[in-house]
């Protein structure tokens, strides 16, 4: 059967590196040729198979944005010639056992020539939706028992669909339409359900006996996580609207504002954030720059950050300049166990390139074994804190090279070498 054919997949983001690093470079003086990442992977994938070699397929998956420069260089590969011509004169034929796949957001900068050579499959987010994601996640909660499983399912059915309708469609539930709620940065319904499950996972204890089973206790947990997953990135004016909407849907006694309350897993109740605010302690060195007066905002945002960090999931803080994002992140780090965590601060600027970004990472990781790399300090997890994520220069096709590399690292926990053998490295404890 065709489905039994062994398949090897090479994934790369073409916008994470320069064009020369992608296709290779020919030294004009010595005429020495240095393979690029794509030319190396392409060359290896298209080695004609031996007669004794078991049947295998090779997939080259381009997971990232398309622009009118790098993709046009692939046009001759995608027509009847199926040949990639490099600057050194090498002509590499695309073999029948190798397939090119492109996973893209849009084709705004692709020419009609490129588009006509590819088979197109459009995936509409409305076709699949967010329900399968929650159903799959719910299967991982079976260890907590059938009662919790059923309660979580009931809470999801009670709240999440109407919340999605209110946020994205403006449906209030009273057969009236209102303005959809606004996010500080675009979100999708799948993104929101994923963040909801992450927050629930961060609160639920490993010990089954300590987990809340009662519907009322679980409802408070669910509402708290719903507030910060679906309402965490809403603009300030719409947070109050969202909070009032949850109150009308709950049909149970809730505190005045869900944003001002935290779920306590020990008491299985909602409690005020104010009670968790630490007393102010002057810095030992007396330096003005080290002074931080804890507030409800620094307390709740640092708590949310550390809860997600423990699950090894990425977090992004959005806000206007001067809203103390950096200070809050540092405050959160100060509460982590220094025996288990170290952090690396990377400041992006308009001059930051993906090579600069990767060099900083390389300086702070060591080889663990083979192609596995991790923090230099044994037994500790490395947190990358990237300040001013939006600062790198936007190229003419709307992408930022360092962020394209960051996307690859976050999604795959992998990194390609920029020199030498261009090997694929696996990143752990980061």
User: What length does the chain have?
Assistant: 430
Residue whose structure tokens are 């054919």: 5
Three-point CA angle 328, 331, 332, nearest 5°:
90
3-state secondary structure of 397: coil
DSSP character for 344? E
Write out pLDDT tens, residues 234-282: 999 999 999 999 999 987 788 889 999 999 999 999 999 999 998 888 8
* Cut 0.85: pTM above it: yes
pLDDT at residue number 1 = 39
124-275 has which CATH code? 1.10.472.130
Write out pLDDT tens, residues 112-133: 888 888 888 998 877 888 999 9
Burial class (CB in 10 A: 0-12, 13-18, 19+), 199: buried
Local mean pLDDT, 10-residue blocks, the chain (430 residues): 77 93 91 93 88 83 91 86 90 92 90 87 85 94 91 95 94 84 93 96 91 91 96 94 93 87 92 89 75 88 93 91 89 92 94 95 94 93 94 92 95 93 94
Superfamily of segment(s) 2-122:
P-loop containing nucleotide triphosphate hydrolases (3.40.50.300)
Burial class (CB in 10 A: 0-12, 13-18, 19+), 94: buried
Q: What are phi and psi of 426, to 5 degrees?
A: -100, 130
**According to CATH, where is 1.10.472.130 located in the chain?**
124-275
**According to CATH, where is 3.40.50.300 located in the chain?**
2-122
């Amino acid at each position: 059967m065709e489905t039994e054919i062994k398949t090897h997949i090479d994934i790369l983001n073409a916008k994470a590196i320069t064009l020369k690093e992608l296709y290779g470079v020919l030294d004009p003086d010595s005429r020495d040729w240095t393979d690029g990442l794509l030319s190396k992977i392409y060359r290896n994938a298209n080695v004609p198979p031996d007669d004794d070699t078991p049947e295998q397929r090779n997939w080259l998956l381009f997971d990232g944005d398309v622009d009118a420069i790098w993709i046009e260089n692939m046009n001759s590969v995608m027509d009847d010639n199926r040949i990639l011509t490099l600057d050194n004169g090498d002509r590499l034929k695309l073999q029948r056992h190798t397939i090119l796949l492109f996973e893209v957001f849009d084709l705004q900068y692709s020419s009609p020539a490129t588009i006509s050579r590819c088979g197109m499959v459009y995936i509409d987010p409305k076709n699949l939706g967010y329900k399968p994601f929650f159903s799959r996640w719910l299967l991982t909660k079976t260890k907590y028992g059938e009662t919790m499983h059923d309660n979580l399912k009931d809470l999801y059915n009670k709240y999440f669909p109407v919340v999605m309708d209110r946020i994205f469609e403006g449906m209030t539930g009273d057969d009236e339409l209102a303005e959809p709620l606004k996010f500080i940065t675009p979100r999708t319904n799948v993104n929101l359900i994923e963040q909801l499950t992450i927050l629930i996972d961060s609160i639920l204890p490993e010990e089954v006996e300590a987990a809340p089973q009662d519907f009322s206790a679980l409802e408070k947990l669910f509402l708290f996580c719903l507030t910060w997953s679906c309402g965490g990135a809403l603009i300030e004016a719409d947070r109050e609207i969202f909070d009032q909407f949850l109150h009308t849907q709950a049909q149970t006694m809730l505190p005045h504002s869900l944003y001002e309350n935290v779920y306590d897993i020990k008491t299985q109740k909602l409690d005020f954030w104010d009670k968790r605010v630490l007393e102010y302690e002057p810095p030992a060195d007396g330096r003005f720059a080290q002074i931080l007066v804890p507030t409800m905002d620094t307390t709740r945002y640092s708590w949310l950050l550390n809860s997600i960090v423990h699950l090894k999931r990425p977090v992004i803080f959005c806000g206007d300049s001067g809203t103390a994002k950096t200070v809050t992140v540092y405050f959160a780090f100060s509460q982590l166990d220094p025996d288990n965590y170290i952090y690396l601060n990377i400041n992006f600027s308009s001059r930051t390139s993906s090579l600069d970004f990767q060099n900083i990472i390389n300086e702070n990781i060591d080889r663990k074994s083979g192609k596995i790399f991790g923090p230099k300090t044994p037994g500790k997890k490395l947190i990358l804190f990237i300040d001013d994520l939006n600062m790198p220069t936007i190229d003419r096709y709307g992408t930022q090279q360092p962020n394209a590399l960051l996307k690859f690292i976050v999604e795959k926990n992998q990194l390609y070498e920029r020199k030498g053998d261009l090997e694929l490295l696996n990143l752990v404890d980061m």
